[in-house]
Amino acid sequence: MQIEELRDVVLLALDDMKAKDVVVLDVRGKTSITDIMIVASGTSDRHVKSIAQTVAFKAKQAGEMPLGTEGMEDGEWALVDLNGVVVHVMQPKVRDFYHLERLWSLDEPDKAPQKLKSI
């Protein structure tokens, strides 16, 4: 599966689960860990866990096995590693503290991350 196709599978899963403030970051050339990072918010620990579980499930259905998931225990910050796409689902207070969008766009201060509207 192409990276863009996998990104679209993830974005549909996030939309289905009513994830908030979805941002897509193209980090190709900035890290060897992944090509695309997606950051989204959930409204509670249960919502964060459900979003991450759904992303992993939808990726599996599309034939892309997750390399791993992290943070499912407490539900403040869950990560789904799909190799070419890494998904961070956070509660708003955690997201505000870590500012991943700002961290990964430091070399382009005038370029804001792409914030998505509902699909």
The CATH number of the domain holding residue 63 is 3.30.460.10
In a domain, 37, yes or no: yes
**Number of folded domains in the chain?**
1
Q: Give residue 106's pLDDT.
A: 53
Pair 40, 19: CB distance under 8 Å: yes
| Spans of the chain below 70 pLDDT | 106-119
Quick check: is 109 in a domain? no
Q: Give the Cα separation of 6 and 66 in Å (integer).
A: 11
CA distance 35 to 26: 6
Backbone angles phi, psi at 41, to 5 degrees: -115, 145
Residue 58's Cβ-count burial label (10 Å; 0-12, 13-18, 19+) is middle
Tell me the whole-structure pTM to 2 decimals. 0.86
Q: Is 32 among the domain residues?
A: yes
